[in-house]
Structure 1
Amino acid sequence: MWKKRAIAWLFICIFGFMLLLARLMQIQLFETEAFSKHNVNLLEESVNQRTQEIVIDNGRGNFLDRNGEMLTYKKERVLVLFPFLKKMNWNAAKVAEIMGVSQSSIQATLGSSKKPFAYGEPEPIELTASQMEEINALKIPGVFAVEQKFERASIPAEQLIGLTGENPKELAKRYPDKELSEKTLIGVTGLEESFDEFLLPEGKSKLVYHVDGGGAPLFGINVKYIDPANPFYPVNVRTTIDKTIQEKAEELVEKYGIKKGGLVLLNIEDNSIEALVSRPLINKNNPYNGIGMTNQIVNQQIIGSVFKTVVAAAAIDQNLDSPGRMFDCSKKINGKPEHKYNYGMLTFSDSFARSCNQTFGELARELQKMNPQMLETYAERLSLTGAVGWNGDIYHTSDFKQFPDEDKGRVFLSEEARKDANFVAMSGIGQHEVRSTPLAVANMMATIARGGKKEMVRAVSKIEFKNGTTMVPFPKKELSGDSISPYTAMKLQKLLREVVTNPNGTGRWFKDLPDEVAGKSGTAETGKYLDGKQLHNKWFAGYFPFQSPKYALVCFNLDVIEDEGGVNSLFADMVKMLHEKETGNF
Structure 2
Amino acid sequence: MLLDDIPIRRRTSQTPPPDNEGGRVRLMLLGFGVILTFIVLGIRLFDLQVNRQALFSAQVERRSIIERALPATRGLIYDRNGELLVRNAPAYQIAIIPIQQVRYKDDPIRQRVERMAMYNKLAAMINQPGVTAGEIYTKVVSQNALIAPYQPTVIADNVPREVALAIQEQSLIMRGVVVQTVGSREYPYKELLGNILGYTGKIFREMIEREPEKFSREIYDYDNDRVGITGVERAVEEKLRGRKGKRTVLVDASFEELQVLSETPPVNGNSVRLTIDLRLQQIISDVLISAMKERGAPRGAVVALNPNTGEILAMMSAPSYDNNWFAQGISQQRYEALANDPHKPLLNHATQDRVPPGSTFKIVTAAALLQEGAVNERTLVFDPGIFILPDQYDPTNPDKGQKFYCWKRTGHGFQNIRDALRNSCDTYFYKTVGGFADGKENIPGMGPDKLAQWAQEFGIGETTELNIDYSVGIAPTKNWKLRNIGEVWSTGDSYNAAIGQGYVLATPLEMANVTAAIANGGTLYHPQIVKDVLNERGEVIQPFTPKVKRQIRLDPYYIQLIQDALWRVVNEPGGTAWGSRLEGFEYAGKTGTAEFCDDVAYQTGICYTGIQVLPTHAWFVSYAPAQNPQIAMAVYVWNGGQGSGVAAPITQRIYNRYFNIGVPEDKLAPIQQGDSE
TM-score normalised over the length of structure 2: 0.58
Which residue matches 2:424? 355
Aligned-partner Cα distance in 1 for 2:187–2:244: 17
**Aligned Cα RMSD in Å?**
3.9
Aligned-partner Cα distance in 1 for 2:614–2:199: 35
1:379 counterpart letter in structure 2: A
Superposition map of 1:124-135 within 5 A: none
Which residue matches 1:405? 470
Which residue matches 1:305? 359
Which residue matches 2:414? 346
Sort the Cα spacing of 1:424 and 1:471 in 2 relative to 1 into closer, same or farther, 3 A: same
Aligned-partner Cα distance in 2 for 1:154–1:313: 41
Q: In the TM superposition, what is the alpha-carbon distance from 1:355 to its structure 2 partner?
A: 1.2
Sort the Cα spacing of 1:319 and 1:71 in 2 relative to 1 into closer, same or farther, 3 A: same
Which residue matches 1:556? 636
Sort the Cα spacing of 1:558 and 1:565 in 2 relative to 1 into closer, same or farther, 3 A: farther
Q: In the TM superposition, what is the alpha-carbon distance from 1:180 to its structure 2 partner?
A: 2.2
Q: In the TM superposition, what is the alpha-carbon distance from 1:149 to its structure 2 partner?
A: 7.6
Q: Which has the larger radius of gyration?
A: 2
Which residue matches 2:304? 265
2:345 counterpart letter in structure 1: G
Sort the Cα spacing of 1:342 and 1:235 in 2 relative to 1 into closer, same or farther, 3 A: same
1:298 counterpart letter in structure 2: T
Aligned-partner Cα distance in 1 for 2:216–2:470: 24
Which residue matches 1:535? 615
Aligned-partner Cα distance in 2 for 1:156–1:339: 36
Q: In the TM superposition, what is the alpha-carbon distance from 1:496 to its structure 2 partner?
A: 0.8
Q: Deviations over 1:392-419 (max 9, x none)?
A: xxxxxxxxx5235332442343258784
Q: Deviations over 1:537-578 (max 9, x none)?
A: 110001011111111011110134569973222111111112
Q: In the TM superposition, what is the alpha-carbon distance from 1:233 to its structure 2 partner?
A: 2.3
Superposition map of 1:449-464 within 5 A: 449-464=519-534
**Retained in 2: the 8 A contact 1:264–1:553?**
yes
Task: Determine whether 1:321 maps to 2:376.
Answer: yes
Aligned-partner Cα distance in 2 for 1:70–1:295: 22
Superposition map of 1:225-240 within 5 A: 233-240=268-275
Q: Deviations over 1:493-523 (max 9, x none)?
A: 0111111133222111232344211111111
Q: Deviations over 1:197-235 (max 9, x none)?
A: 22225459xxxxxxxx9xxxx99xxxxxxx9955x6221
Sort the Cα spacing of 1:43 and 1:561 in 2 relative to 1 into closer, same or farther, 3 A: farther
Q: Deviations over 1:108-153 (max 9, x none)?
A: x99x964899xxxxxxxxxxxxxxxxxxxxxxxxxxxxxx984426
Superposition map of 1:198-213 within 5 A: 198-202=239-243
State the aligned residue count: 442
**Retained in 1: the 8 A contact 2:592–2:642?**
no
Which residue matches 2:107? none
Superposition map of 1:425-504 within 5 A: 425-480=495-550, 482-504=552-574
Superposition map of 1:15-414 within 5 A: 59-73=73-87, 114=166, 150-152=186-188, 154=190, 156-167=192-203, 169-170=205-206, 172=208, 173=212, 174-176=214-216, 178-181=218-221, 182-202=223-243, 233-257=268-292, 259-282=298-321, 284=325, 285-286=334-335, 290=341, 291-299=344-352, 300-317=354-371, 318=373, 320-323=375-378, 325-332=380-387, 334=389, 335=403, 341-348=409-416, 349-366=418-435, 369-370=445-446, 373-387=449-463, 389=464, 391=465, 401-412=466-477, 413-414=480-481
Sort the Cα spacing of 1:153 and 1:549 in 2 relative to 1 into closer, same or farther, 3 A: closer
Q: In the TM superposition, what is the alpha-carbon distance from 1:471 to its structure 2 partner?
A: 3.8
Q: In the TM superposition, what is the alpha-carbon distance from 1:427 to its structure 2 partner?
A: 0.6
Aligned-partner Cα distance in 1 for 2:619–2:522: 22
**Retained in 2: the 8 A contact 1:265–1:442?**
yes
| Range 488-497 or range 276-285, more displaced | 276-285
TM-score normalised over the length of structure 1: 0.67
Aligned-partner Cα distance in 2 for 1:271–1:353: 26
Secondary structure of 2:620's aligned partner = strand
| Range 428-437 or range 454-463, more displaced | 454-463
Aligned-partner Cα distance in 1 for 2:407–2:447: 33
Secondary structure of 2:196's aligned partner = helix
Q: In the TM superposition, what is the alpha-carbon distance from 1:238 to its structure 2 partner?
A: 1.3
**Retained in 2: the 8 A contact 1:453–1:483?**
no
Secondary structure of 2:453's aligned partner = helix
Secondary structure of 1:256's aligned partner = helix
**Retained in 2: the 8 A contact 1:501–1:508?**
yes
Aligned-partner Cα distance in 2 for 1:313–1:437: 19
Secondary structure of 1:302's aligned partner = coil
Q: In the TM superposition, what is the alpha-carbon distance from 1:354 to its structure 2 partner?
A: 1.5
Equivalent of residue 506 in structure 1, options 560, 573, 576: 576
Aligned-partner Cα distance in 2 for 1:197–1:314: 42
Aligned-partner Cα distance in 2 for 1:170–1:550: 42
Query: Structure 2: where are the runs of 5+ without partners?
Result: 1-65, 91-160, 170-183, 246-253, 258-262, 326-333, 390-402, 436-442, 608-612, 664-677
Sort the Cα spacing of 1:358 and 1:198 in 2 relative to 1 into closer, same or farther, 3 A: same
Aligned-partner Cα distance in 2 for 1:463–1:359: 49
**Retained in 2: the 8 A contact 1:71–1:155?**
no
Sort the Cα spacing of 1:544 and 1:497 in 2 relative to 1 into closer, same or farther, 3 A: same
Q: In the TM superposition, what is the alpha-carbon distance from 1:65 to its structure 2 partner?
A: 0.7
**Retained in 2: the 8 A contact 1:168–1:183?**
no
Q: Deviations over 1:3-55 (max 9, x none)?
A: xxxxxxxxxxxxxxxxxxxxxxxxxxxxxxxxxxxxxxx999xx9xxxxxxx9
Sort the Cα spacing of 1:338 and 1:546 in 2 relative to 1 into closer, same or farther, 3 A: closer
| Range 283-292 or range 294-303, more displaced | 283-292
Secondary structure of 1:72's aligned partner = strand
Aligned-partner Cα distance in 2 for 1:339–1:186: 50
Q: In the TM superposition, what is the alpha-carbon distance from 1:360 to its structure 2 partner?
A: 0.7
Q: In the TM superposition, what is the alpha-carbon distance from 1:303 to its structure 2 partner?
A: 0.5
Sort the Cα spacing of 1:339 and 1:186 in 2 relative to 1 into closer, same or farther, 3 A: closer
Which residue matches 1:124? none
Q: Deviations over 1:235-285 (max 9, x none)?
A: 112110011221222122221125311201111232211111001112643
Secondary structure of 1:73's aligned partner = strand
| Range 402-411 or range 301-310, more displaced | 402-411
